[in-house]
């Protein structure tokens, strides 16, 4: 029999019961399924979620036969609830289980579908729908997938964790120590040289790179993956370039 049952015989209640297999513990999602028909209908992206205080879940089920649970009454006072549940062992007695806890509004938000390392660029399979207590909703909580598609994680995100804007940043298109193409432009000419990035940077950010030929530092703006454009510098002398790396700009 489920532990902590109040041993009061009851008549079987009408309605479709929740069934547990022999030895299957009562979990939070079971209670949610049991109470949902008695709660106001959910709206798009919002529902009521029950959090059981007593008895502690998961609740051990020592019955050697299947068990059927049926909600008898649900009393709500503010956030708090008390629920009386019939528990019937197959071909056995009917007993009562008393549940207490809170029912609060929850908002549907994208959560990490698995452990995501820092520096990971978010893809569609990295996130799944989750529910967050409305009272825990922060100003920068991410509410939909479109807000963060293609962004990069700043820190490790554990499975099921709701995302916040402070967890993310624009993806780094240039990485410290990696080779980049430096595009120089002057007097109608465009020259491409190779360089090494001195720091990580995202699209449009300014980063220092070291010209591989001259070993001189160059301030540049990130224009794409492993590609930067040298910022104007009146003192700069354009580097020499191999054939095919010089283009004359069209007027």
Q: pLDDT digits over 29-77, tens only?
A: 999 999 999 999 989 899 999 999 999 999 999 999 999 999 999 999 9
Q: How confident is the model at residue 3 (pLDDT cuts 50, 70, 90)?
A: very low
**pLDDT digit string, tens, across residues 106-149:** 999 999 999 999 999 999 899 999 999 999 999 999 999 888 99
Identify the pLDDT of residue 238.
60
**pLDDT digit string, tens, across residues 5-21:** 333 333 333 447 999 99
| Fold of the domain built from segment(s) 107-169 | Type Iii Antifreeze Protein Isoform Hplc 12 (3.90.1210)
Query: Which two tokens mark 59?
Result: 């609740």
Domain boundaries, the chain: 18-106, 107-169, 173-248
Q: Which run of H or of E encompasses 161? A: none
Cα 72 from chain centroid? 36
Q: How confident is the model at residue 239 (pLDDT cuts 50, 70, 90)?
A: low
Q: Which of 169, 166, 167 is nearest to 205 (CA)?
A: 169
Cα 119 from chain centroid? 15
Q: How confident is the model at residue 207 (pLDDT cuts 50, 70, 90)?
A: very high
Identify the pLDDT of residue 4.
39
Cα 200 from chain centroid? 24
Q: Which of 228, 221, 220, 121 is nearest to 179 (CA)?
A: 228
Query: Which two tokens mark 175?
Result: 């990485």
**pLDDT digit string, tens, across residues 177-194:** 999 999 998 777 888 999
Q: Which of 84, 145, 78 is nearest to 113 (CA)?
A: 145
Cα 69 from chain centroid? 33
Q: What percent of the chain has pLDDT over 90?
A: 75
Q: How confident is the model at residue 84 (pLDDT cuts 50, 70, 90)?
A: very high
Predicted TM-score (pTM) of this structure = 0.63
Q: How confident is the model at residue 244 (pLDDT cuts 50, 70, 90)?
A: very low
Identify the pLDDT of residue 10.
35
CATH for 173-248 (2.120.10.30, 2.40.160.210, 2.30.30.760, 1.20.1050.10) = 2.30.30.760
Report the C-alpha gap between 77 and 66 in whole angstroms. 33
Cβ neighbours around 16 below 10 Å, total: 8
Report the C-alpha gap between 170 and 7 in whole angstroms. 59
- Residues 197/174, Cβ–Cβ less than 8 Å: yes
């Amino acid at each position: 029999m489920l532990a902590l049952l109040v041993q009061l015989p009851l008549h079987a209640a009408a309605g479709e019961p929740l069934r547990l297999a022999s030895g299957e513990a009562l979990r939070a999602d079971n209670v949610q399924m049991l109470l949902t028909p008695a709660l106001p209908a959910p709206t798009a992206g919002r529902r009521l979620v029950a959090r059981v205080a007593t008895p502690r879940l998961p609740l051990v089920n020592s019955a050697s036969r299947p068990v059927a649970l049926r909600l008898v009454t649900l009393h709500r006072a503010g956030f708090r609830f008390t629920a009386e549940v019939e528990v019937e062992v197959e071909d056995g007695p009917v007993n009562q289980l008393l549940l207490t806890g809170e029912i609060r509004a929850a908002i549907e938000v994208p959560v990490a579908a698995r452990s995501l390392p820092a520096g990971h660029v978010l893809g569609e399979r990295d996130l799944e729908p989750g529910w967050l207590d409305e009272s825990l909703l922060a100003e920068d909580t991410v509410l939909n997938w479109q807000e963060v598609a293609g962004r990069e994680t700043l820190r490790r995100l554990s499975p099921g964790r709701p995302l916040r804007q402070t967890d993310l940043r624009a993806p780094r298109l240039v990485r410290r120590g990696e080779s980049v193409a430096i595009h120089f432009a002057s007097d109608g000419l465009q020259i491409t040289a190779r360089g090494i990035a001195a720091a990580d940077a995202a699209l449009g950010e300014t980063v220092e790179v070291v010209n591989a030929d001259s070993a001189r530092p160059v301030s540049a703006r990130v224009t794409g993956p492993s590609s930067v454009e040298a910022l104007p510098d009146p003192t700069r002398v354009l580097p020499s370039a191999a054939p095919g790396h010089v283009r004359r700009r069209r007027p």
